[in-house]
Structure formats: structure tokens, C-alpha cells
Amino acid sequence: MNLFLEAVQWLLDPANWAGPNALGLRILEHIGFSAVVVLVAAAIGIPAGTLIGHTGRGRGAIIAITGGARALPTLGLLTIFGLWLGIGLEAPFLALLVLALPPVLAGAYAGVESVDRATVGAARAIGLTERQILMGVELPLAAPVIIGGLRSAALQVISTATLAAYISDTGLGRPIFSGLKTQQYDMMLGGSILVALLALLVELCFQLVQSAAARRAEPHRTQTPASERITA
């Protein structure tokens, strides 16, 4: 408890929020770096997963990739990439990408695959193009699951991005690692608390987005009848 109080004191100390080493800067680095990783994972994983879900081809590959990649220890990867690429953001970026890709890919694939095939068949039979089926039917109906995949990727990346400091001195891993090295445990715990808070915040944002997507995918569950709606 004592240590926890010290950590809170450390967090509240204005000196830690000023200068070139300000915590605000670490937080921004942490968010920015995590966001880039998740965005790149989304840019690769969503199209790939969607395509596999839509065509039903490459299912085996996706199961192997998502299962296998999840078993890889990120710290080990980071070390290998670090030895290969040297100091800098490249190694942690790659290691985190390997961490983020499986949930994004699995979410996109599972989401699109779970859309009722009869609905898709009907859309095709009345004359929607494959593109229109994908954009107008499969993606909106799959959106809650796709966003669920992003959510889980984002959480893992935010909590694991502390490792970036191990090799490149970036983000909220810095107070954690320097605290460890210098036995300043208030600093170490303070940094961890910030990471946890950040993760909770991101979780909350994703929850909001996900339920908005669910309302669009299943509007009848939440819709008020027109007669009861207040007209603006």
C-alpha cells in the first residue's frame, strides 16, 4: 500500500509532467505508437480477413496464422528483431504488429463468415455486385465482430507497447524500465498505472464504437417505433 501511495505521489508530482522528460510526452508517444501499429494491422488484417470470409478461400491458412502467431512471445520476437534491425522503433513495431495482426484478422474473417449465407445469396440474386455485397451487406453486418477484433488488438498493443522502451526509449515503458534499473519502484509502478488507465480508456472508447456498430447491424433490437420517436 505504501508503495502504491508513493507511486500516486510520483504521478502527481508536477516535476514529472514538465520538461523534455514530461509524462504527457510519454503518453502521447505511447498512444501514437500503438495507434500506428493497430492502424497498420487493420490495413492489412481487415481486407485480408474480409476477403477470406467472403470467398471462403484460405480458411486453413488463417487458422494456422492466428493460432501460431498468438503463441509467439512478443519479448522474444522483439529481441530477434532488435538484433536484426538494431536500436529504434522498427523492431518493436514489427513485434507488436505480429501481436496485433491475429485478432484483427480473426475478427474480420469470423465477422464476415458469420453473416448469414442466405442473406448474401439473396443480395447476389437480386443483382448486387460482389463489391456492393461486401460494402453494403457483409461489412455492416460484420462490423461489431470486426471492431471486436480491433479492440482486442488495441488492448494487447497498448499493454505490450511498454516493451518498445526496451529497445528504443519510447512511450510509457520508459518510466517502467528506468524505474526497474534504478530501483525507483514508485516510478515503475506509476508508469504501470498510467498504462493500465490508458488501456481502460481505450477499452471504453472501443466499447462505444462497438455498440454503435451493433445498433447499425441489428437495428431492430434497439429501435424505437416511429410513432414513439420524438421528431426533431
Write out the residues near other proteins by the rule CB under 8 A.
116, 118-119, 121-129, 132, 137, 140-141, 216-220, 223, 225-226
Q: Which is nearer to other proteins, 86 or 121 (CB)?
A: 121
SS3 151: helix
Nearest approach, Cβ of 220 to other proteins (angstroms)?
Answer: 4
Closest CB to other proteins among residues 20, 127: 127
Q: How far is CA 90 from CA 4, 6, 156, 170, in A?
A: 34, 34, 18, 12
**Least Cβ distance, residue 146 to other proteins (angstroms):** 14
Q: Which residues contact 201 (CB under 8 A, 6 or more apart)?
A: none
Residue 120 or 157 with smaller CB distance to other proteins: 120
Least Cβ distance, residue 53 to other proteins (angstroms) = 17
Rounded distance, CA 220 to CA 76, Å? 47
Yes or no: say if 70 and 100 are a contact pair by the CB < 8 Å rule.
no
In the complex with other proteins, which residue's Cβ is closer, 35 or 217? 217
Q: What's the min distance (Å) between Cβ of 124 and other proteins?
A: 7
Which CA distances in Å does 41 have to 1, 26, 106, 191, 210?
39, 22, 12, 26, 18
